[in-house]
Structure 1
Amino acid sequence: MGKIKSEIFRILRHVPVSVRRIPEKRLLIILALVVGVLCGLAAVVLKLMVDNLAHFVSGISTGKWNFIYLVLPGVGMLVSLLIVKYVIKRDVGHGVTKVLLAVSKNESKIEPRQTWASLLTSSVTIGLGGSVGAEAPIVYTGAAIGSNVARAMNLSYKNMTILLGCGAAGAVAGIFKAPLAGVLFTLEILLFNISMTSILPLLLSSVSATVVSYIFLGQEPLFPANLIPFSMGNIPFYVVLGFFCGAVSLYFTRTTLSLEDKIKNISGQYKRWALCALGLGLLIFLFPPLYGEGYSSINLLLSGSDSILDETSVFSYLGPNPWVLLVFVTCILFFKVFAMTFTNAGGGVGGTFGPTLFIGGIAGFVMARFANLLGFSVPEPNFVLVGMA
């Protein structure tokens, strides 16, 4: 890998002088497009790897209750742990935090290996069932792409930071197929000086990444929703949902920090992995929607379907009882934070943004279904979407 890196930098150093003489502002625009395309491709690769691994696992049947869920998530965590320990030899977790540290402490420089490290480890983790999100790893990957393209072209620190931001924006835009989301994420989280010098490259990078994602993954949105027209009469329920989601967020944050501290106090990396793999496997076996990102379950709820309680769950024998479904989904709401923390603390690589979307959507469904069981009539898909927001 070191030889490949050296060869790439050697080639880039010999870029024709006519190109290197382009004014840096114009060059920044061109490079923003290049970075956007590369980040879009990275997002496509990550998405396809995760989906193909998950599809492969879904084809493995071990009977009515899929006992493979007890094993594969731990295998994914172990493979990621070994790749990080013996191949990458650097910590690749907490991607967004590392991007912020690179900007503030390391002159926006990120190691070239990070252009593929998070991509590889997170795809294995999530594809085999790790209950985390792909957003933080792809942000780290995109930021690394932008940083290293800027370094290869000898850009100033200011423009290197902008191009790093272009990478992060392109990565978010590519994974969500939403260019505005990429721009807003970068402006809010990574960049502090908003000007046309930074806005235009971010827009170009985000749009080009989205186009690449559209070409390879299609134009269907990540969360297609079967929404019902808004009704003023539901506003009080939305207000209650806001308070409920706030309480769930507090629970999510405090539980994550507390559980992480307890797991870190366990001596021995492989002992931590074994305990986390056991806990994660049991949770996914009992509650299959905790497998991976969980976006397919959210899409079921957005479509108005109750099939989230499918035949692979040990609770499916209780039948299509609406109260059973409510209890089942409520358990998912509270156990998702444990599944996420077990995944990251046990050696897996993934982010927390995806799980927060998942928990928000589940919270919206729980409240809407509870209200409907009490005799009210509120649109459950709408509440799922608002809960995610």
Structure 2
Amino acid sequence: MPETEPPAPARGSPPDPAAAPGHANATRLTGAHRLASAETTGFFDALPHGTVLMRLWARLGLLMGQQLARVVRDDHVFLIVMAAVVGTTSGVAAGALLAWIEYAFRLFPRPEESSALVRWAAVIGVPVLGGLAAGGLHFVLRRIIQQPLVMGIPAVIEAITRRQGTIRGRQAVIAGVGTGITIGSGGSCGHEGPSVAIGAAVGSVLARFFGLRMRWHLAMVGAGCAGGLAAAFNAPLAGVVFTVEIVFGGAIGGNIGTMSVFVPLIVAAVAGTFTSHAIRGEHLTFTTVQHGDAMLVEMGLFIALAALAGVLGTLMGRAVIGTTKWFQNLKAPVLLKPALGAFGVGLLAAVVSNDVLGGGLPTINEALQGRLGWQLALALLGLKLVATALTVGSGGFGGVFTPSLYIGACLGTVVGAVAHFALGPGAESTAAYALVGMGAIFAATMQAPLTPIVMIFELTRDYELILPLMLGCILAVFVARRMSPRSLFQEILHQQGVVLGHEAEVEVMKRGHVADLMQPPPRTLSEGTGAAEVRRVALDEGRSPFVVDDTGAVVGWIDADLLAKRVLHGDVPADAAARDLMTDVQLALLYPTDTLAGAMLASARSSAEVLPVVDHERRLVGVLRRGDLLAHYSDKVLGQQEEAVHMHTTGGAVHGHEVGLGKGMILDHIVVGRRWAGRTLADLALRSQTGATVVEWLRGEAPLAIDPNAPLQHNDVLAVVGTREQILAARRMGPTRPGVAAPQL
């Protein structure tokens, strides 16, 4: 049976501390408590201690999930059904967001035929008004709801990395309302990022509502991302590739697990796209590009376009990051910061062109039709970058997807004009260059080449330019990574202190310093110390001493093992001094401010077990032992990995994850329910009935000896090894004695 739990009264265990911000003293759930809570309610925590209506609503979700599980009775089918539900709901949410944005456009006044003064007042005042409304939403979210803002892709990646994908529905509602206000009032941003975040929230909320285990929780969050982007862009393949490459790739280093994670993405993307078609009809987001046959000589121009896109995409990311920092350090009320950014955007529009306002889809379509002049494109190229940085950096609601496509279209138009100037009328159309520029800028900003290749193809249904598009995206990412090791999203998370899965080991060692682990300095030897004293220190005390000169500066060391060999062979003259007995191997010197990552590298390249820590005059201030360095690495890095494996296998915050053991075998856990309680493993006969083998028996946090004749207790945890079919059979296994009901685990 699919993994939901039978309903039972909540035991009053405390709620999840993450769900109650500000309560720093909230009781943390131990692994045993979480296991009991999972068996009792299907959640990882007890049913919420809220109003009667909230408790009834939570109970309703659990009952619905359990009833559906009983009807389906197959993990894979249940997973597909839930992914379809998440995808459809994400598509509805994306459609509602687009409808709200269209209404917001009509909500804000736009006097077209008025005097210059009125036009200036409207172009500047309307964005400022929207900025004030956005600031009000920030105030509500922080002071009243007291939850972090989940507006774009970085917030989703952070939720997956830090909170096992938990996103609250209220966060998504605020993000959706703010996105409509910001874009409708003229903010320079797009709706696609919020659409993905709202889809992720839908997946998280539905996973909790139906009581899904955590190994499916993340799959539903990913399904929501795929469904949301597919509905927003009308691009199902792009939704799947984007979730794998950017969302899961950023959160867990690209390890998306088995097909139990990948299949829901496909199902949700298809469901989201069908829902989008039902709401808005089947349509192309961008117009069809008119182009000719690209000449081989033009590939050089496409390469130049890719290189420029790599530089410009990186500059765009830096502009957004820099502007965000500036507004964060600005001593002004949160209410006013988005309005200040909107004032800058409105001023740019009033001085140059209204085309910098909003997402800019009309301008993109003009570029794809070859009707955008290169002079205007060149001006909009820089203005849009600044306007986007002001909008997003000041706290406006929206993403950078559409602005990156806008900037790419302008850049491609300019390069296309150069191609026509150099090659004449036979050159490829400027629209073709605009299309490749869109993909290249997107790829450079996100440092993800696959998503824009698939996305641009789905948005235009144009396969003729696939080769220049692929080349442009790959080269743009190559250039961007030479300029910055992180993408825009990764840099935002890095600034927030979020350590991504594939960066964990390096970051842990980089954040520590040699001063944290160094020991007091041992006694040193001067260069003139006699052989007898050297032998006593090195051989009798069993350590390799450091040698210093008259000023106390470290000049070398004596290898105790090498000295012992020389003594055995009679190679140590009686009148030898310490300077004569020093090893020829160059000594690595560390400073207290060096990172532990650098110390680890130095230790690996040195034969010394103890490295000297010196000041800037090379005077010994301490030592760093290789054993201490490895112990720190084991504790901080390998220990965390072991904890993660423990969490994935024996409970904790992500109880329910399975572990692949190879050749089709997996390790999973079964929580003993009431109908197995009191029976023994011999009574159950799991191995003979299903082929699955019990390899561990936990009661609370204590492991028990596997005694086939000992009775099981309610909430005991059995670690079971077998194929997926064998473990599913164990869950569905009927009674082995007459009159005993089938277990519900």
Q: Could you state the TM-score of these two structures normalised by the residue count of structure 2?
A: 0.47
Closer, same or farther: CA 11–387 of 1 in aligned 2, 3 Å: same
CA distance in 1, matches of 2:138, 2:125: 20
Do 1:187 and 1:194's aligned partners in 2 also have CA atoms closer than 8 Å?
no
Map of 1:366-377 to 2, 5 A cutoff?
A: 366-373=414-421, 376=424, 377=427
Closer, same or farther: CA 335–155 of 1 in aligned 2, 3 Å: same
Find the partner of 2:321 among 248, 251, 257: 257
* Matching residue of 1:63: 114
Q: Structure 1 residue 113: deviation in Å? A: 1.2
More deviation, 28-37/97-106 = 97-106
Find the partner of 1:350 among 393, 398, 404: 398
Closer, same or farther: CA 163–16 of 1 in aligned 2, 3 Å: closer
Do 1:24 and 1:155's aligned partners in 2 also have CA atoms closer than 8 Å?
no
Q: Structure 1 residue 111: deviation in Å? A: 1.4
Q: Which has the higher helix share?
A: 1
Map of 1:1-389 to 2, 5 A cutoff?
A: 8-15=57-64, 17-21=66-70, 22-55=73-106, 57=108, 60-63=111-114, 66-67=119-120, 68-86=122-140, 88-92=145-149, 95-191=152-248, 192-233=255-296, 234-269=298-333, 270-285=335-350, 286-306=352-372, 325-373=373-421, 376=424, 377-389=427-439
More deviation, 37-46/150-159 = 150-159
Alpha-carbon deviations, 1:240-260, whole Å to 9, x = none?
A: 111111121122122222232
Alpha-carbon deviations, 1:61-100, whole Å to 9, x = none?
A: 3526543221111211211221231255434255212211
Unaligned 5+ segments in structure 2 are 1-49, 249-254, 440-745
CA distance in 2, matches of 1:131, 1:25: 42
Q: Secondary structure at the match of 1:92?
A: coil
* Matching residue of 1:317: none
Letter in 2 for 1:211: F
Closer, same or farther: CA 279–257 of 1 in aligned 2, 3 Å: same
Q: Secondary structure at the match of 1:15?
A: helix
Alpha-carbon deviations, 1:22-69, whole Å to 9, x = none?
A: 344322111110111111111111112222322555763352654322
Q: Structure 1 residue 16: deviation in Å? A: 7.1
More deviation, 342-351/266-275 = 266-275
Letter in 1 for 2:127: P
Alpha-carbon deviations, 1:289-335, whole Å to 9, x = none?
A: 111111111011112224xxxxxxxxxxxxxxxxxx43332121112
Q: Which has the higher strand share?
A: 2
More deviation, 182-191/57-66 = 57-66
Do 2:131 and 2:340's aligned partners in 1 also have CA atoms closer than 8 Å?
no
**Aligned Cα root-mean-square deviation (Å):** 2.3
* Matching residue of 2:30: none
Closer, same or farther: CA 375–16 of 1 in aligned 2, 3 Å: closer
Q: Secondary structure at the match of 1:190?
A: helix
Closer, same or farther: CA 296–58 of 1 in aligned 2, 3 Å: farther
Closer, same or farther: CA 86–17 of 1 in aligned 2, 3 Å: closer
CA distance in 2, matches of 1:182, 1:5: 33
CA distance in 1, matches of 2:228, 2:404: 19
Q: Structure 1 residue 103: deviation in Å? A: 1.4
Alpha-carbon deviations, 1:143-190, whole Å to 9, x = none?
A: 010011111122121111001000000000000001000000111123
Closer, same or farther: CA 303–57 of 1 in aligned 2, 3 Å: farther
- Aligned pairs, number: 370
Alpha-carbon deviations, 1:126-152, whole Å to 9, x = none?
A: 111110111221111100100111111
CA distance in 2, matches of 1:230, 1:75: 48
Q: Which has the greater radius of gyration?
A: 2
* Matching residue of 1:314: none
CA distance in 1, matches of 2:402, 2:337: 23
CA distance in 1, matches of 2:360, 2:108: 14
Q: Secondary structure at the match of 1:131?
A: coil
Letter in 1 for 2:356: L
Q: Structure 1 residue 339: deviation in Å? A: 0.9
More deviation, 185-194/50-59 = 50-59
More deviation, 277-286/162-171 = 277-286
* Matching residue of 2:491: none
Letter in 1 for 2:371: S
More deviation, 191-200/26-35 = 191-200
Q: Could you state the TM-score of these two structures normalised by the residue count of structure 1?
A: 0.88
Letter in 1 for 2:407: I
